[in-house]
Structure 1
């Protein structure tokens, strides 16, 4: 992932990526809560903050996370997993004030360019109630399946 992260970090844009560390837990959890909380509530009926925080703590892995920063501070995070045969956007979340500013589009385009250079498809899943699925479709992702709660999407092969 280090090679991929360096290449993504060198691409020009209005944000920068940096490796996450343990000190990012609280701010990234707050961003997660505000970015995804409403969709969790729509999908499952409620947000149990204690359970969600514990779930977040159990799966928080700074080695897999890039923090998205703008001149205003921490804007969100990207969790990109490199598999032998594809790239997986495990999470891409932006704080509400940083949504609809082109950051997600720019970041995803950079990931798609990198994936194409590696001849890898990109896969992700998105909650059905999350309007981000329209962004993914605009960028060329297609639905490859679904669960009760998520659309499974892919770009490339």
Structure 2
């Protein structure tokens, strides 16, 4: 990291309701790579169901996709806090937050193990970032695949579509986005 690139802000205060259930975050370590690969595979597995590939081929493809995504994130998101979500000390998800922007807090990624999805855990974690943005006068931005069910969650939390970018939709929450006074671009 160069002198002009600020160190990632690793702070994150787990909501009290989740903290009492043993949830916490910690910085990612090299020992987390196997867990993160398996988490990614579990998250993307169903998407490839229609391809009809044998499980070994699907697994190999997704492991490669994880490696490429992980390399992209760690190479290009130099001010991002790469956090592991834990429950009672065991890893159960990832939370990647970039606070390097003056006006934006970027939710780079959040994934929980499948057995914890749909229980309001991700929403509670995201609300911490929304509260931080409101307190600091920033907005929260993220990219989500247009077909990803998480997009509906983001909309329920108050995120608005900003701009389609390939298969992704850029969404924001809160005031202060430079395009707040401009009409939405696209579909």
The TM tier, using the shorter chain, reads 0.7 to 0.9
TM-score w.r.t. length of structure 1: 0.84
Deviations 1:89-138 (A, max 9, x none): 01111111110111100000011001111100000011122101111011
Which stretch of structure 1 is more off in the superposition, 15-24 or 61-70? 61-70
Contact 2:85 2:92 in 1 (8 A): yes
Size of the aligned set, in residue pairs, is 155
Query: How well do the aligned residues superpose, as a CA RMSD in angstroms?
Result: 2.8
RCO comparison, higher one (Cα < 8 Å, 6+): 1
**Which aligned segments of 4 or more residues in structure 1 are displaced greater than 4 angstroms?**
1-4, 44-47
Q: 1:76–1:97: structure 2 CA closer, same or farther, 3 Å change rule?
A: same
- TM-score, normalised by the number of residues in structure 2: 0.72
Alpha-carbon distance, 1:18 to partner: 1.0
Cα distance, 1:53 vs structure 2: 3.8
Q: Which residue of 1 aligns with 2:71?
A: 58
Larger radius of gyration: 2
SS in 1 for 2:171: strand
Gaps of 5+ in 1: none
Relative to structure 2, which stretch is displaced further, 12-21 or 30-39?
A: 30-39
SS in 1 for 2:16: coil
> Which 5+ residue runs of structure 2 have no aligned equivalent?
1-5, 176-187
